[in-house]
């Protein structure tokens, strides 16, 4: 059992960052959110095109995703900015954030009689949180409190042979040696490997749920009337040598290792507070799956990439690992950990796992990831149905 240095929260969670987020509830508040975050030191904007004219399943999903980020373990406090009366309600969101013990503020552009007044209020609220957050100190915490997010990005044929093995090794080290949790996602990227994956479920119920969700995705894709190739695998996957979604999937599943699966949870749902490996049911679309896992509360994410990727998240640091020596050389800014010596050199997968684990633990204690040094973050909520 190890320890890391984290920020304790009133709700019992522990953060590896101490962020102030400024959250938009609708597209018409996005500019005010961006401007607020530009002015206030360390404030992070969360914007999106949703939150209005959505059907109920999408409203719930949008709300859950926003709340999950605003109450993420790495978040100190949140300023919510709404445009007007929206189906994703700003006051309700701010109240739910406050229930976790986090400072929160709700600002409504209509009620403030315009953007300039709203901006004034939002900047004041965010400044107060940012300053208070800066005064909080890290304290030693049990490593078992951590949740390890896992995602792949621009996979190629090196992914399943090298970096995904290191990723699995590091994730299972957190689970088995420290009692932590891990979560991977991207259900359509189970195609072709779902039977073996489902066999790893801890119960018959979970086994069947995995198979049903995979079949549901295949059905949804068939209903489009088109061959999914081009969308899965993507053109960059195919450039990297991946031929079909099955090949991509069988490689992708390597990053989950071969241990038991505790459960498969809904998109953006909270990852259960019990040690083990979990699945979140998300599309393979990286920005959407990473956003889902961010909402679920993973403290950090290892992004196991073939060709390199900018993929990142507003509140969850992303550590990029590749085993492709050409990618490590081409995009060093997207290569936190280069384990290619385990693929084309004389090193082993155990060595690669150690390299990745060591970097993860440094990031947990506060070292910036490469994405963080460039202030990168993307946020994309998966949609279920139409706008209305």
Partner 1 sequence: MADRYLEVVEPEDNVATALRDVEAGETVTVAVGDEQREIEVVDDVQFGHKLAVTDLSDGDTIRKYGKSIGNATEDIPAGTWVHVHNVESNYGRGDLAADGEGGGDAAASAGGD
Task: Answer yes or no whether residue 250 interacts with partner 1 by CB under 8 A.
Answer: yes
Contact with partner 1 (CB under 8 A): which of 169, 180, 251, 257? 251
Least Å from the CB of residue 151 to partner 1: 20
Nearer to partner 1, 11 or 195 (CB): 195
Helix (H, G, I), strand (E, B) or coil at 79: strand
Question: Which 191-220 residues touch partner 1, going by CB under 8 A?
Answer: 191-196, 211, 214-215, 217-219
Choices 28-36, 112-120, 236-244, 261-269 (CB under 8 A): range interacting with partner 1: 236-244
Nearer to partner 1, 180 or 306 (CB): 306
Task: Answer yes or no whether residue 246 interacts with partner 1 by CB under 8 A.
Answer: yes
Nearer to partner 1, 156 or 336 (CB): 156
- Phi-psi region at 73: left, alpha or beta (left = phi > 0; alpha = psi -120 to 50): alpha
Task: Answer yes or no whether residue 241 interacts with partner 1 by CB under 8 A.
Answer: yes
**DSSP, residue by residue, 33-50:** HHHHHHHSTTEEEE--S-
Task: Answer yes or no whether residue 285 interacts with partner 1 by CB under 8 A.
Answer: no
Choices 16-24, 246-254, 268-276, 375-383 (CB under 8 A): range interacting with partner 1: 246-254
Please, which contacts does 223-230 make with residues 24 or more away whose CB atoms are closer than 8 Å?
228/188
Least Å from the CB of residue 76 to partner 1: 42
Binding-site size, partner 1 (CB under 8 A): 44
Least Å from the CB of residue 325 to partner 1: 9
Task: Answer yes or no whether residue 365 interacts with partner 1 by CB under 8 A.
Answer: no
Least Å from the CB of residue 211 to partner 1: 6
Nearer to partner 1, 224 or 388 (CB): 224
Question: Which 319-338 residues touch partner 1, going by CB under 8 A?
Answer: 324, 326
Give the span between the Cα atoms of 301 and 288, in whole angstroms: 14
Give the span between the Cα atoms of 270 and 266, in whole angstroms: 9
Dihedrals phi, psi of 252, to nearest 5 degrees: -60, -40
Nearer to partner 1, 126 or 221 (CB): 221
Choices 20-28, 84-92, 121-129, 241-249 (CB under 8 A): range interacting with partner 1: 241-249
In the chain, the N- to C-terminal Cα span, in Å, equals 51
Task: Answer yes or no whether residue 2 interacts with partner 1 by CB under 8 A.
Answer: no
Q: Which residues contact 381 (CB under 8 A, 6 or more apart)?
A: 48, 50, 61, 62, 65, 66, 268, 288, 291
Give the span between the Cα atoms of 15 and 291, in whole angstroms: 17
CA dihedral 227, 233, 238, 241 (to 10 degrees): -120
Burial 229-242 (b: 16+ CB within 10 A, else e): eebbbbebbeebeb
Give the span between the Cα atoms of 252 and 161, in whole angstroms: 10
Question: Which H or E run includes 320?
Answer: strand 318-322
Task: Answer yes or no whether residue 383 interacts with partner 1 by CB under 8 A.
Answer: no
Question: Which 154-173 residues touch partner 1, going by CB under 8 A?
Answer: 156-158, 160-161
**DSSP, residue by residue, 243-267:** -SHHHHHHHHGGGG-SS-EEEEE-T
Nearer to partner 1, 89 or 288 (CB): 288
Task: Answer yes or no whether residue 304 interacts with partner 1 by CB under 8 A.
Answer: no
**DSSP, residue by residue, 145-201:** G-EEEEEEES--TTTTTTHHHHHHHHHHHHHHHH--EEEE--GGGGTTTHHHHHHTB
Contact with partner 1 (CB under 8 A): which of 34, 344, 350, 365? 344
> What does DSSP assign to residue 333?
G
Nearer to partner 1, 115 or 161 (CB): 161
Least Å from the CB of residue 234 to partner 1: 12
Helix (H, G, I), strand (E, B) or coil at 93: helix
Task: Answer yes or no whether residue 229 interacts with partner 1 by CB under 8 A.
Answer: yes
Which positions lie near partner 1, rule CB under 8 A?
A: 156-158, 160-161, 188, 191-196, 211, 214-215, 217-219, 221-229, 231-232, 238, 240-241, 243-247, 250-251, 306, 324, 326, 343-344
């Amino acid at each position: 059992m190890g320890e890391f240095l984290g920020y304790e929260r009133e709700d019992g969670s522990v953060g590896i960052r101490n962020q102030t987020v400024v959250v938009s509830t609708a597209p018409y508040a996005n500019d005010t959110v961006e401007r607020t975050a530009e002015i206030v030191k360390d404030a992070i904007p969360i914007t999106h095109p949703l939150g209005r004219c959505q059907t109920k399943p999408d409203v719930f999903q949008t709300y859950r995703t926003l709340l999950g980020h605003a109450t993420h373990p790495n978040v100190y406090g949140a300023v919510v900015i709404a445009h007007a009366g929206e189906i994703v309600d700003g006051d309700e969101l701010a109240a739910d954030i406050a229930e976790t013990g986090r400072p929160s503020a709700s600002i409504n552009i209509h009620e403030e009689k315009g953007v300039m007044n709203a901006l004034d209020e939002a900047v004041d609220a965010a400044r107060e949180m940012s300053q208070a957050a800066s005064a909080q100190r890290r304290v030693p915490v049990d490593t078992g409190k951590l949740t390890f997010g896992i995602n792949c990005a621009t996979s190629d044929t090196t992914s399943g042979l090298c970096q995904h093995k290191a990723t699995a090794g590091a994730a299972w080290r957190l689970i088995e040696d420290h009692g932590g949790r891990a979560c991977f996602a991207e259900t359509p990227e189970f195609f072709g490997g779902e039977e073996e994956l489902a066999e790893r479920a801890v119960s018959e119920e979970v086994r069947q749920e995995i198979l049903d969700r995979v079949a549901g995705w295949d059905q949804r894709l068939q209903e489009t009337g088109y061959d999914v190739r081009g969308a899965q695998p993507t053109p960059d996957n195919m450039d990297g040598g991946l031929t079909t979604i099955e090949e991509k999937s069988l490689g992708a599943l390597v990053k989950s290792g071969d241990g038991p699966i505790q459960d498969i949870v809904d998109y953006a749902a909270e990852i259960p507070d019990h040690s083990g490996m979990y699945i979140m049911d998300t599309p393979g679309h990286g920005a959407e799956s990473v956003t889902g896992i961010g909402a679920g509360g993973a403290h950090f994410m290892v992004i196991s990439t073939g060709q390199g990727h900018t993929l990142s998240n507003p509140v969850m640091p992303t550590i990029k690992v590749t085993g492709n020596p050409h990618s490590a050389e081409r995009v060093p800014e997207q290569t936190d950990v280069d384990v290619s010596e385990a693929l084309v050199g004389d090193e082993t997968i155990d060595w690669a796992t150690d390299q990745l684990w060591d970097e993860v633990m440094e990031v947990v204690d506060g070292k910036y990831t490469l994405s963080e040094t460039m202030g990168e973050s993307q946020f994309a909520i998966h949609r279920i149905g139409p706008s209305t």
